[in-house]
Amino acid sequence: MTRLIIAGAALALATAACAHQAPSGAAYPVDCCNNRDCFPVHYSAITREGDGWAVRTKDGVIRYRREHLRPAIDDGWHACWGPGTTVPYCLIPAGGGS
C-alpha cells in the first residue's frame, strides 16, 4: 500500500512538472517551459540577428542565442520566456528550420 501511495505521489508531481501544450496539440519542451511561458509566434515577429534571433512579443523584444534553440514541434514558431520579462528560455523554429 505504501508503494502505491508513493507511486501516486510521484505521478502527481511528474504531471505537475509537465509542460503545457501548444495550440497544435504538440507538447512544449519540459526543459524550457514551466506551466504557461511558451507561446506561438508569428514569423513576422522574428528577426535574424547575427548568431541569434530577436522576437517581438507583448513583453518586448527578446533575444535568443543559438543555444536557446530546441527541436521543432509543429509547423509554427514558438518562443518561451519569463512572462512579464524579456528573459529568454527557448526558441522553437517552425518545421525544424532555423
pLDDT tens track of the chain, all 98 residues?
444 344 333 333 333 445 688 989 999 988 888 778 899 999 999 999 999 999 999 889 999 999 999 999 999 999 999 888 999 999 999 985 44
| C-beta atoms surrounding 27 within 10 Å | 14
Q: What is the pLDDT of residue 84?
A: 87
Q: What is the pLDDT of residue 96?
A: 52
User: Residue ranges per domain, the chain?
Assistant: 2-96
DSSP E strand stretches across the chain: 38-41, 46-49, 52-57, 60-65, 77-81, 88-92
Q: Which long-range contacts (CB under 8 A, 24 or more apart) does 26-29 make?
A: 26/73, 26/74, 27/73, 28/73, 28/78, 28/80, 28/92, 29/70, 29/71, 29/73, 29/80, 29/90, 29/92
Q: In terms of residues, how long is the chain? A: 98
Q: What is the pLDDT of residue 78?
A: 95
Going by their DSSP bridges, the two strands 88-92 and 60-65 should be labelled as unpaired
Gap between the Cα atoms of 2 and 41, Å rounded? 46
